[in-house]
Amino acid sequence: MTKSENKINLKSLDRNAPIGVFDSGVGGLTVVREIIRQIPNEKIIYFGDTARVPYGNKSRETVIRFSQQIMRFLNTFDVKTIVVACNTASAYALDTLERDSNIPVIGVVKPGARLAAQVTKNGRIGVIATEATIGSRIYSQYIQELNQEVTIYGKACPLFVPLVEEGLLEDPVTDEIARRYLTELIDIDIDTLILGCTHYPLIRSTLGRIMGPGVTLVNPAYETARELKSMLAGMNLLSGESPKLGENKYQFFVSDKAEKFVVFANSIIKYGILSAKTIHIETY
Amino acid sequence: MTKSENKINLKSLDRNAPIGVFDSGVGGLTVVREIIRQIPNEKIIYFGDTARVPYGNKSRETVIRFSQQIMRFLNTFDVKTIVVACNTASAYALDTLERDSNIPVIGVVKPGARLAAQVTKNGRIGVIATEATIGSRIYSQYIQELNQEVTIYGKACPLFVPLVEEGLLEDPVTDEIARRYLTELIDIDIDTLILGCTHYPLIRSTLGRIMGPGVTLVNPAYETARELKSMLAGMNLLSGESPKLGENKYQFFVSDKAEKFVVFANSIIKYGILSAKTIHIETY
C-alpha cells in the first residue's frame, strides 16, 4: 500500500504500460534483474543518473530535486508505476514522490526492512548503506514500526561503491575495508544484515565470509520485486501481454556515458540490452 | 597567453573585480590556497559543484556542459578572469570555455605540464589523474608541444579521490592502492610525477614515500597561481586595492552541502571562511 493510492484512479492506468525504474547509476540494475525474473511479461523503462552519480553523499534536498526530475522524465512514457531502485533516493525522496504522484511509487527500503524484521531471531539487525541512507535513519524507523523489540545498528560504508565500481569485488583491499566497517556489527552480535545499497549485493560473498554463517544477508532487491508483483496483482495491473525482446520491452536511459552503462548492464542482466540513450535529465 | 585574448577588450575589465575559481568540489581549494599566498590582495569567487561531484568518471560532453553553466554563474559577479581549478574540467572544457569567453580563462593542466617539462632530467614523466584526464591525453599533448624528446606515462587512479574524501590520508589501504597504481611508473624509471588531480596533493607524503627521493612531485596548483599572477600583471589587471577579510573578499558557493564544504574548506585555507552559499547550478 502506498500513500498515493488514495488519489490514484486505477481505471485510468493501462495494465500493459511499462514500469518505470530509476537509480543514481547502475546499481538499480540488480533490482531490474529481480523484476525480470519474477514478472517477465512486464515492460521496463530504466533511468540511471550517471551524470550525477553518486547520490549517497549528497543532501536530502538535492536528492529530492534530482528524483523529481527523473519522475517527470519517466512519466513521459505513461508508466503505470515507478520503482525507486536506489536506497538513498528511497530514503530521502520517496515521501515526496508519493505525494506528487498519481501513480503508485515503491522504494527498496520498506521491502528490505520488512524481510529483515521477519528473519531476525535475536532481534539485532545491522544495516550497511551510504552515508545519506544511514543518516536518514529510515531503516530503523520502518523496522521499529513493524517490531519495537528489534534493535537496529546502522553503519555507513562510503568506500564500497567506488570499490565495486572499480571491479575490486574479490580483493584484499575490499576485504580490509569491509573488516573495518563490519567489526562493530560483529561485536554487537547481529544475526541479520541488510545490504542497504544496490551496489552491495555485488560484494555479497566478501560480506558473507566476514560476517560468518550465523548472519543472514538481506538483499532488498528480491523483496522489492516481490512487493511490486503483489501490488500490481492487487490492482489488476499485471501485464496482459507477452511482449518480446526487441519490441521496446526494456528501454534504458542514462544522463551520461551510455556505452559504459551498456557494458555494465549486460554483465548484470543477460537479456540482450542492445543500447541505452543519453538524455539531459536536468531539463525535466 | 590564452586563446581568448584576441577578443578580450582589456580596457573593459575592472582590475579590482574578483577572480572566479571553480572545481567539481573541494579539491580546487588547494589552488585557491596558492592564489591567496601569491596574490593576497585579490578577491575570489569560488564555486564547487558538490551536487554533481565527481567529474573524473564522466564524459567530455557532460563536463563541458557543467563547466559552461558554472562559467555563466561566475560571470554574474563580473569576474575579471576564470581559473578552472579542476584537472578534468581543464582537460575537457578549457578550449570551449576559452572560445565562449570574453575574459581570460586559465586551467591547471598547462602550468603543471610546463613545470614538469622543465624539471625532468631523464625525459620520463609520469602523470597520475582521473580516468577522464588520462583518457584525454592532454598532459602528453601539452608536454610534447614544449619538448618532443620527453616521454609521458599516464596512469588513472580512480580510487584516490574517494580515499582522500574518506580522510584515509595516511593509511595502509591508501598505501596498498598507491603501490598498485604506481608500480608501473616506478618500473619505467620516471623522474617526475605530475599530481594531475587537485585531491592528490593531500596524499603527497604517501606518494612521495612510494616513489622514492629520486622522483620530483609536481603540484600544478603552485604553478597555476604563478601563471595567474603573471598573466594579470601583464594585462595590468592585478588588484589595486587591499580588501580586508569580511568585505566579501572571499565568497564561496556550492551546489550542495554547504556546511560540510565549510568544514573541509577551513581545514585547507586558514583565512576565515565563515560560510558558503548553496545555489542551483543547473539553472545557469
Q: Minimal Cα–Cα distance from B62 to chain A, Å?
A: 7
Mean pLDDT of B10-28: 93
Chain A residue with Cα closest to B168: A159
Instruction: Report DSSP letters for chain A, one per residue.
Output: --GGGGG--GGGS-TTSPEEEEESSSTTHHHHHHHHHH-TT--EEEEE-TTT---TTS-HHHHHHHHHHHHHHHHTTT-SEEEE--HHHHHHHHHHHHHH-SS-EEESHHHHHHHHHHH-SSSEEEEEE-HHHHHHTHHHHHHHHH-TT-EEEEEE-TTHHHHHHTT-SS-HHHHHHHHHHHHHHHHTT-SEEEE-STTGGGGHHHHHHHH-TTSEEE-HHHHHHHHHHHHHHHTT-S-SS-PPTTSSSEEEEESS-HHHHHHHHHHH--S-----EE--GGG-
Q: Minimal Cα–Cα distance from B24 to chain A, Å?
A: 11
Report how far Cα A148 is from the mean position of its chain's Cα atoms.
25
Confidence check: pLDDT of B273 > 80: no
Q: Minimal Cα–Cα distance from A65 to chain B, Å?
A: 10
At residue A267, the pLDDT reads 86
SS3 B238: coil
Mean pLDDT of chain A: 94
Q: How many CB pairs under 8 A join A and B?
A: 53
List pLDDT tens digits, range A253-282: 999 999 999 998 988 888 767 789 999 999
Integer Rg of chain A from CA = 18
Identify the helix (H) or strand (E) that includes residue B153.
strand B151-156
At residue B269, the pLDDT reads 87
Lowest mean pLDDT among A229-233, B154-158, B269-273: B269-273
At residue A247, the pLDDT reads 79
| Chain A CB within 8 Å of residue B173 CB | yes
At residue A1, the pLDDT reads 46
Q: Within 13 Å and on the Cβ side, how many CA atoms surround A13?
A: 24
Q: Which residue has the cell 598547462?
A: B110
| Chain A CB within 8 Å of residue B159 CB | yes
Q: Determine which of A59, A64, A283 to mutate to test the interface with B (most B C-beta atoms within 10 Å).
A: A59
Which of residues A273 and B276 earns the better pLDDT score? B276
Mean pLDDT of B80-106: 97
Own/partner long-range contacts of B115-118 (Cβ < 8 Å, ≥24 apart): B115/B218, B115/B220, B115/B223, B116/B143, B116/B192, B116/B194, B116/B218, B117/B143, B117/B146, B117/B147, B117/B150
List pLDDT tens digits, range B215-226: 999 999 999 999
SS3 B231: helix
Confidence check: pLDDT of A198 > 70: yes
Q: Which residue has the cell 515521501?
A: A95
List pLDDT tens digits, range B152-196: 999 999 999 999 988 899 999 999 999 999 999 999 999 999 999
Of A39, A74, A86, A237, catalytic: A86
Which of B3-12, B66-75, B166-175 is the most confident on average?
Answer: B66-75
Confidence check: pLDDT of A284 > 60: yes
Q: Hey, are the CB atoms on B256 and A62 less than 8 Å from each other?
A: yes
Residues of chain B found within 8 Å of residue A163, distances taken between Cβ atoms: 159
What Cα–Cα distance (Å) separates residue B57 from each residue in A108, A232, A264, B136, B226? 26, 37, 14, 12, 29
Measure CB to CB from residue A173 to each of B65, B166, B176 and give the nearest one: B176
The answer to whether B197 and B133 have CB atoms below 8 angstroms apart is yes
| Chain A CB within 8 Å of residue B163 CB | yes
Cell of B12: 573593459
Mean pLDDT of A82-87: 98
Q: Predicted confidence band at B78 (pLDDT cuts at 50, 70, 90)?
A: very high
Q: Within 13 Å and on the Cβ side, how many CA atoms surround B257?
A: 22
At residue B1, the pLDDT reads 46
Mean pLDDT of A208-223: 96
Mean pLDDT of A133-147: 96
Percentage above 90 pLDDT, chain B:
88
| DSSP type of residue B244 | P
**Beta strands across the sheet bearing A19-23:** A105-107, A81-84, A19-23, A44-48, A250-254, A277-278
A197 is catalytic: yes
Residues of chain A found within 8 Å of residue B176, distances taken between Cβ atoms: 172-173, 176
Residues of chain B found within 8 Å of residue A177, distances taken between Cβ atoms: 173
B86 is catalytic: yes
List pLDDT tens digits, range B120-157: 999 999 999 999 999 999 999 999 999 999 999 999 99
Q: Predicted confidence band at B6 (pLDDT cuts at 50, 70, 90)?
A: low
Mean pLDDT of A201-224: 96
Q: Hey, are the CB atoms on A159 and B158 less than 8 Å from each other?
A: no
Percentage above 70 pLDDT, chain A:
97
Q: Hey, are the CB atoms on A158 and B173 less than 8 Å from each other?
A: no
Q: Minimal Cα–Cα distance from B55 to chain A, Å?
A: 8
| Chain B CB within 8 Å of residue A58 CB | yes
Confidence check: pLDDT of A233 > 90: yes
Confidence check: pLDDT of A6 > 60: no
**What is d(CA B197, CA B178) in angstroms, rounded to the nearest whole number?**
14
